[in-house]
Structure 1
Amino acid sequence: MKIVIIGGTGLIGTKLAARLREHGHEAVRAAPSTGVDALTGEGLADVLAGADTVVDVANSPSFEDAAVLEFFTTATGNLLAAEQAAGVGHHVALSVVGTERLPGSGYLRAKVAQEDLIAKSPIPYSIVHATQFYEFTRMIADNATEDGAVRVAPVSFQPIAGDDVAAAVGRVAAGTPLNGRVEIAGPDRYRMDEFFREALAAWDDPREVVTDPHARYFGTELEELSLVPNGDAVLGEVHYADWPGRG
């Protein structure tokens, strides 16, 4: 099976390509650095020729509200049109658990717009909603830092390893289109402020973690279940305590 990975040189794209190749698939990593740019449409027709499935794990270079909306709507529109012309039979997209619950986040509003385009397209599709990646823990802490302290809400948090994300997306990509969504999350659920308190201690990071019910997460306040699966979810295997990058 020929599977084209848009965003194939990034964190998840690289892991996904390796896993698909291990299972005998032709995994093509597509990105601007390989001559394929979904935002402009450059290279799409050539790379999609003969493709069975397209997996979109690309991310916006900017999280500013207008820029991220422009990225996801334009790139997804270009990609879906090119897939339809090439006869691609399955579109897979990686998105975020809680997109529909956090309208105050410009990034997640853009992901909702992306998902709407995919669902309305005639191409059979699957959308994988993932929780936050272990690999982004430091970035989340930095984004939450105000006046030298990390301000975090006391809400549920269930992050997942990038390897587990790649494994789950790979299974979906090689399978039958869901024409719907599946949620994936890490094996353990934490209270978010306590998780970051322990994470910073493991990094020997001197910043204080302040529990703040009104702390904003990338521009929006959180409710208890904003960031965790709503019902059944596929759980990863790697515990954060065992993850090599935690220290």
Structure 2
Amino acid sequence: MDDIRIYIADQRGEIESDNVLVKSTLNYGSFSAPYRSPIGKLKHVNEWRGKGTKSIFSLTSAKGDTHVVVPLAGDLSITIGTEKHEVLLGTVFIYQAADNATGLVVSSLTAEDDEMVFQELIFSSVKDTLNLVTCLKLPIVDLNQRNKVLPLDNDAFEFRLYFGAFVGRHTFHLSLDEKFSNFFILTLDGTFEVEERLLYTGDALFLPRPTQVETECLSTAGLLLAIYF
């Protein structure tokens, strides 16, 4: 895929069952469309929704898959085999599956009827590695880190994650090196203009081979998640 492409939130696929709703930007499960195929190694982009302890999310995993999970509403409990991990708001959880790929079971740490929302990216790796789990803090607390799109430091994966927390109308120019060639950015909350393209909450934009990405927050607050691969 060499063309710039916008993915509109209202055109995502939706699958609902057993108190769980998944909205898919790219093809997932029974949702399939020719213009929603994987972008290189980026296989799936899903927003999961449920109601507190009433909802249990079973996320399948294949050998070499890397799952990126960002809580958007409610703290999460993620079980992989016999291991349990608490994933709190303000963090990102990353899991890379080894040869004996084990899926993820996600549940809520909050009250029974509280809304539960998280964003998931699934990236296909070519490396044969052991199971790898890490949890990183998002740059949202420090005032000096706001109104910027910042990398999340971790060199263990075949991609680089970026996160931006904006308050008020601000513009930020993100410069990229030549380590990777594909850039996918997703609006988690708020309204943005990215490279002169208007994105609302849930919208996404794919940019091939960018060297710089201009983002402008147009709302009172906004959150961005991006992957460079």
Query: TM-score, normalization: structure 1?
Result: 0.27
Please state which structure has a larger fraction of its residues in helix: 1
Please state which structure has a larger fraction of its residues in strand: 2
Larger radius of gyration: 1
